[in-house]
Structure 1
Amino acid sequence: MPLDPQAKTVLDFLSQGASLETLPLEEARASFEKLSATAQPEFVENVEDRTIPGPDGDIPIRIYNPFTEGAHPALIFYHGGGWVVGSIETHDSLCRSLANLAQCIVISVDYRLAPEHKFPKAVEDAYAAAEWVAENGADIHVDTGHIAVGGDSAGGNLATVTAMIAKEKGGPSLSYQVLFYPSTGAGIPSESQRENGKGYFLTTDMMTWFAGKYFETFDELQNPYAVPLKAEDLSGLPPALVITAEFDPLRDEGKAYADELEKAGVDVVHSCYDGMIHGFVSMVAFISKGTEAIEQAAEALRGAFRR
């Protein structure tokens, strides 16, 4: 399929600015925050910022609760940004939409970023947040029998890695995974990287910049908590929805991970959105297929929470 006209309009706009990897770190973070500010946040009944204890200090979280009373299923969400940029602010609009459409509480996690905090610090924060929600759900009106994890890009990586650790440690029990164009194959060449590595927002140069700040050594690329496609056994992970985009360098690794989950006996749905680019679910103000993907994720979550 050709590039979607709405996606092309976004790319034309983005091409007027500097690519993140060409900027000093703080400018790159500010640029990503500014780009995300174009979203139009939905109203959610209750939104609360708080901190929870983490392995090396407090972790900020934001809780989106579309209900006024009772205990409800929850999605723990990890934002994208290459483990280097992004925050609960950059993904505020997406989390609001997911809370309203999936009719669940969303807990967005502001995990530590690289290079100040290299691998595996983000992973440690991600799992600690899941543990905290499972253990303290009653305090935030969560039905702890129905907890899902999700995220986009690097956040999708953290979501499925959290599920891996939960399986290995025997908890917490997780109902589902929602993975928007997840990073699952850092360091593994693919056809989509060759096809889409330049000119489609996320570039191979940007990916290399992110990896250089997140990882300390090349050896870490053999660790499945860094590169989920390196996992030897994916059986027993929660059911998953993997959403990819046709013109995304991460397209093939997302599909490969969905295929590996299926081979391991995990109930998985993979949807590749034709004509789309990396980040499209955060571009719903300009790209209508972003809304379609969020609606698909919300429907999948509602189904998982009914089980």
Structure 2
Amino acid sequence: MKTQLKAAVIRSAVKAGTRLRWLGKTAKHIVVQKSDIETGHGRIRLRIYQPPGEGPFPVVVYYHGGGWVIGDLVVYDPLCRDLCDHSNCIVVAVDYRLAPEHPFPAAPEDCLAALKWTYEHISLYGGQPNAIAVAGDSAGGNLAAVTALQARQCLPGVVKGQVLIYPVTDHYEPGTPSYEENAKGPVLTRKLMVWFWDTYLKGSPLLDAGQTRHPRATPLIRDDLDNLPPTLLLTAERDPLRDDGASYAERLQRHDNQVQYSLYAGACHGFVGLQGPKPDHNKAMGEISMWLGKLFAA
């Protein structure tokens, strides 16, 4: 009960803060449609952002951040509008189930189901089913990476690329230099990241007592990182997760995958989307859009 109350308080605060930072600055001309889909574990909501024009358009399936505990379609509406506007791609935002109400592996189950639905139905919205990338930030970057790995097996060839924005790729122990340097933030602290991980994994039907790593939770530990789609991976210098992202980029490259890695000097966790349309956010939107353009033109 205490964990649920803490989650509710943080969810409310993040929603209010993000709305304030984007007030009057969102891309209102983007058409947004809503859908509920069946996942096999219940229904989840999607928002489908459509750029102006005839199409058909490439597609980005976006998984929001928030430590698998917070974040939703409302919080990430400004970011998804902005990504759609800059990239000229349809963006499918996924409202996957959150912990503590739904511990691991509920989130990756929903994320894979949303990808499958997108592949099967996006042509009805003007999208190209043969031009789909997955993307996400923080815990959403974790879910994008895990979804790409799952899809390699059960939806081969569907994911053409992955955009991972300061992704979580391993459990918080042992601590990396970036966890030590940025233990007290700004924005994301080590203490908060520990709480996110503990909340996400507690009560998981897939984990034994004391187990903290799993192939669908901690992709950095996997040995089977070959034959993955091209990757754009962004990290922030002042972020506990900086080394998670850098290590995953290095491992992907070691497995002969195509990787573009960018470290945003001086930037903090959440600079993409959650802090409003500031210079680093705009720079990242430009880099992501250019990378997607090249990906889908290939």
Answer whether TM exceeds 0.5 for this pair: yes
**Identical residues among aligned pairs (%):** 39
RMSD between aligned residues:
1.7
Is there any run of 5+ residues in structure 2 with no aligned partner, and where? none
Aligned to 2:246: 255
Deviations along 1:42-84, one digit per CA (max 9) or x if unpaired, are 1243111111111211110000000343321100000000000
- Please give the alpha-carbon distance, in whole angstroms, between the structure 2 residues aligned to 1:47 and 1:286: 20
Counting only pairs closer than 5 Å after superposition, residues 288-303 of structure 1 correspond to structure 2 as 288-303=279-294
- Please give the alpha-carbon distance, in whole angstroms, between the structure 1 residues aligned to 2:123 and 2:152: 23
Give the secondary-structure state (helix, strand or coil) at the position aligned to 1:43: coil
Instruction: Work out which of the residue numbers 120, 134, 139 in structure 1 matches 2:124.
Output: 139
* Matched residue type, 1:50: S
Aligned to 1:76: 61
Query: Which runs of 4 or more aligned residues in structure 1 lie more than 4 Å from their structure 2 counterparts after TM superposition?
Result: 217-220
Residues 283 and 290 in structure 1, CA contact (< 8 A), matched pair in contact too: no
Residues 22 and 177 from structure 1, CA distance in 2 versus in 1: closer, same or farther, beyond 3 angstroms? same
Residues 283 and 45 from structure 1, CA distance in 2 versus in 1: closer, same or farther, beyond 3 angstroms? closer
Aligned to 1:244: 235
Aligned to 2:268: 277
Give the secondary-structure state (helix, strand or coil) at the position aligned to 2:61: strand
- Please give the alpha-carbon distance, in whole angstroms, between the structure 2 residues aligned to 1:170 and 1:54: 15
- Please give the alpha-carbon distance, in whole angstroms, between the structure 2 residues aligned to 1:208 and 1:122: 18
| 1:90 corresponds to 2:75 | yes
State the TM-score, normalizing by the size of structure 2. Answer: 0.92
- Please give the alpha-carbon distance, in whole angstroms, between the structure 2 residues aligned to 1:285 and 1:170: 35
Aligned to 1:33: 15
Aligned to 2:184: 198
Residue 286 of structure 1: CA displacement? 6.2
Moved more, 202-211 or 22-31: 22-31
Residues 111 and 220 from structure 1, CA distance in 2 versus in 1: closer, same or farther, beyond 3 angstroms? farther
Counting only pairs closer than 5 Å after superposition, residues 173-188 of structure 1 correspond to structure 2 as 173-188=158-173
Residue 22 of structure 1: CA displacement? 12
- Please give the alpha-carbon distance, in whole angstroms, between the structure 2 residues aligned to 1:251 and 1:23: 29
Moved more, 22-31 or 197-206: 22-31
Moved more, 237-246 or 135-144: 135-144
* Matched residue type, 2:178: S
Give the secondary-structure state (helix, strand or coil) at the position aligned to 1:37: helix
Give the secondary-structure state (helix, strand or coil) at the position aligned to 1:177: strand
* Matched residue type, 1:261: L
- Please give the alpha-carbon distance, in whole angstroms, between the structure 2 residues aligned to 1:60 and 1:220: 31
Moved more, 192-201 or 167-176: 167-176
Aligned to 1:3: none
- Please give the alpha-carbon distance, in whole angstroms, between the structure 2 residues aligned to 1:172 and 1:265: 17
Is there any run of 5+ residues in structure 1 with no aligned partner, and where? 1-20
- Please give the alpha-carbon distance, in whole angstroms, between the structure 1 residues aligned to 2:210 and 2:120: 34
Task: Give the count of matched residue pairs.
Answer: 287
- Please give the alpha-carbon distance, in whole angstroms, between the structure 2 residues aligned to 1:240 and 1:47: 27
Residue 120 of structure 1: CA displacement? 0.3
